[in-house]
Structure 1
Amino acid sequence: MTFVIAAPCVDVLDKACLDECPIDCIHEGDRMLYIHPGECIDCGACEQVCPVEAIFYEDDLPAEFREYTAVNAAFFKEPNPAGVPGPAPAFEGDRRG
């Protein structure tokens, strides 16, 4: 299991979690931050400092954010249509409008 960053982070990018992560497994995308599922050590430090409560333990994701497990993992697949690590500029999980 891992922690997951969900919709409340979209277009916020507070970055407090970046400073708190002891292993630097949180990465910045164009519109939100992402947790690398293979690097996260489940310490929960990021969850505690997130001002918009966008970080959840995978098993505790609210139903409306379940797709963000795949969104976070997809960010780290190579290459995307642009040929670089990370999601395409728009992704299905972004429903804010």
Structure 2
Amino acid sequence: MSIEVHILGTSSARPTSIRQVSGNLVSCADGIVVVDAGEGFQTRFFEQRKRMKQHEKYHLKPSKVGALCLTHGHLDHTWGVLPWLQSLALDNRHQSLLVLGPTTN
């Protein structure tokens, strides 16, 4: 089984002219896991999906996303979650989405 990791953002608290805030995709035959979704995540996901369509065997379909993992609650890791979820709803997504994240004591 092969695993692909797509790094969509590596900047810290705010985007820069050459880097975006946190957002990653981990893809394998069983589906896709989103790891963090900072500001602008859905746009970066769409752009990466468009780039990958040029390669016949690689497809990043939003319908294949089964889980969202948030490493921590800072906005540079979470600000893009709600707009992305809204887009999934507008696309008539009906599958459940497992959401994982840290807890506090």
Larger Rg over CA atoms: 2
TM-score, with normalisation over the residues of structure 2? 0.36
Q: Which one has the bigger strand percentage?
A: 2
TM-score, with normalisation over the residues of structure 1? 0.38
